[in-house]
Amino acid sequence: MATLEIYDTTLRDGAQREGISFSASDKIKITKKLDELGIYYVEGGWPGSNPKDIEYFERIKKIPLKNTKVTAFGSTRRPDVDVTFDPNVQSLLAAGTEAITIFGKSWDFQVTNILGTTLNENLNMIWDTVSYLKGKNIEVIYDAEHFFDGYKENSDYALATLESAQRAGADKIVLCDTNGGIMPLELMDIISEVKKRIQVPLGIHAHNDSGLAAAISIIAAQMGLLHIQGTINGYGERCGNANLCTIIPNLKLKLNMDCIGEEELKNLTKVSRYVSELANLSHQESQPFVGSNAFAHKAGVHVSAVSKSSKAYEHIDPAKVGNKRQILISELSGKSSVLHKAKENNIELLKDYQTKEVLDLIKNLESQGYQFEGAEGSFELLIWKALNSYRNLFELEGFRVIVEKHKDSPLVSEATIKVNVDNHMVHTASEGNGPVNALDNALRKALEEVYPQINNIKLEDYKVRVLDGQDGTGAKVRVLIESSGDEKKKWGTVGVSSNIIEASWLALVDSIEYGLLCKEINAQKALIKNNS
């Protein structure tokens, strides 16, 4: 089994994606997660480019890492500058990392038209920088920028740049598809030619402008390149970098290539989501392997087949990458879907008519605009009501929401609510930063005396979807609310109405009822366990 080095550049190349700005603390946290994942190299940043990266390198020195080598990234010396006085090179040394990654030009067009120097001086810049750093007993990884574009226009010069790095003592030479335009068969031909001239271990760094970065990286590994660069979730400039969340499981599970351990691989989905959170981006749920849709089944035929054998519609066991199977409930669902989802939520539908009743109810509600794919809380409540195992915690008598806006003053929202709680009428009011927030605050205020555990239920996300834009402001809307409780349990609830306040209220009530009922059920289970 070949051993591959996975090189992560999320903190540098990945952070060049629009909308991402990692703090030094974020970068420290991500490095620790990547270390737990078993990533061999983590590129921390470019220490000569900004104070944040300088802070990161100072702090990371003091943190023990089990699997990971941190690398600093920078360019070759500047044209016509002595390498010992080049500020970029000196800042790389000051970072104090075990390894340094240097990039240099491989495309003659880039050398003359962009860098503005001669082809011979560029070769000297590569040799001088790599040999100088090697003289400091540092591992040097040489990134051949724009290598494939350069090779296609002037193969002799592109190869000469690699040979310059090789003669200078580079430990690894990485072939970069910087513009993301190389095609698979071209790649294979070029790598074959490179291997005739270069004996230093080779690597690949691919961008995704043609949608092929992960495929290019996997093909390169199959051709014997044992150093694979990429980013978590494929983050990066323009269309992104090669996605390590796709590359790693394919190498490990499909090609039997040893890149990270089996136990570490089980952290992949968690790390993918963690990086999304710190990047402040929505997780890409359609991602292979780590997206929530990767092992989600909606059609009744699929669910029935998966229930008999997972390999019917799943190419791997989702647990191997830390993910899980999802059964989505929709108008496409059959009885198998409802039974599977009920069982998944520890609910047993004993009789066939009960399953049919729930299925008919789901299809009727979905025809009105409801969607239960992201609303498992509402789905469970629906089943409990169908089985007559639902206890109504409170009953709404009425509410009123007032929104006021005066000139030069902020908008003010106030909700007044009247609910019957445990045969006791509660009438209260509360303000909020919007009508839904005001309603949420008023309902919690009305319930907290009888149900103090409500304070542990938090609203995490709120989404509104217009179902038919042709009706303009009178269109039906679907509101999805995601909430969380103790032990990081999360659940979704849904409400639909042509009035956004009513839709929000329906989803909000489901959210709070579900959270409170789950607490009651868990408390009863704990009591039975203690008494047994």
φ, ψ dihedrals at 95, nearest 5°: -65, -25
Specify the pTM.
Answer: 0.69
**What does the alpha-carbon distance between residue 259 and residue 7 come to, in Å, rounded to a whole number?**
10
Pick one of 3.40.50.12780, 3.30.160.270, 3.40.50.880, 3.30.200.20 as the CATH number of 395-531: 3.30.160.270
In this predicted model, which residue has the larger pLDDT, 312 or 109? 109
Pick one of 1.10.357.20, 3.40.50.720, 3.90.1200.10, 3.20.20.70 as the CATH number of 5-279: 3.20.20.70
For residue 488, pLDDT beyond 80: no
For residue 460, pLDDT beyond 90: no
Region class of 238: left (phi > 0), else alpha (psi between -120 and 50), else beta: left
For residue 412, pLDDT beyond 80: yes
**Domain segments of the chain as ranges:** 5-279, 296-367, 395-531
pLDDT reported for residue 174: 98
Residue % of the chain over a pLDDT of 90: 55
pLDDT reported for residue 342: 56
**3-state SS string for 61-123:** CCCCCCCCEEEEEEECCCCCCCHHHCHHHHHHHHCCCCEEEEEEECCHHHHHHHHCCCHHHHH
Q: How confident is the model over 424-434, as pLDDT tens digits?
A: 899 999 998 88
For residue 473, pLDDT beyond 60: no
In this predicted model, which residue has the larger pLDDT, 278 or 324? 278
For residue 157, pLDDT beyond 80: yes
pLDDT reported for residue 331: 45
> Rounded to the nearest 10 degrees, how much is the dihedral formed by the CA atoms of 392, 396, 402, 403?
30
Q: What is the mean pLDDT of the segment spanning 300-316?
A: 57
**What does the alpha-carbon distance between residue 328 and residue 335 come to, in Å, rounded to a whole number?**
12
pLDDT reported for residue 365: 72
In this predicted model, which residue has the larger pLDDT, 134 or 395? 134
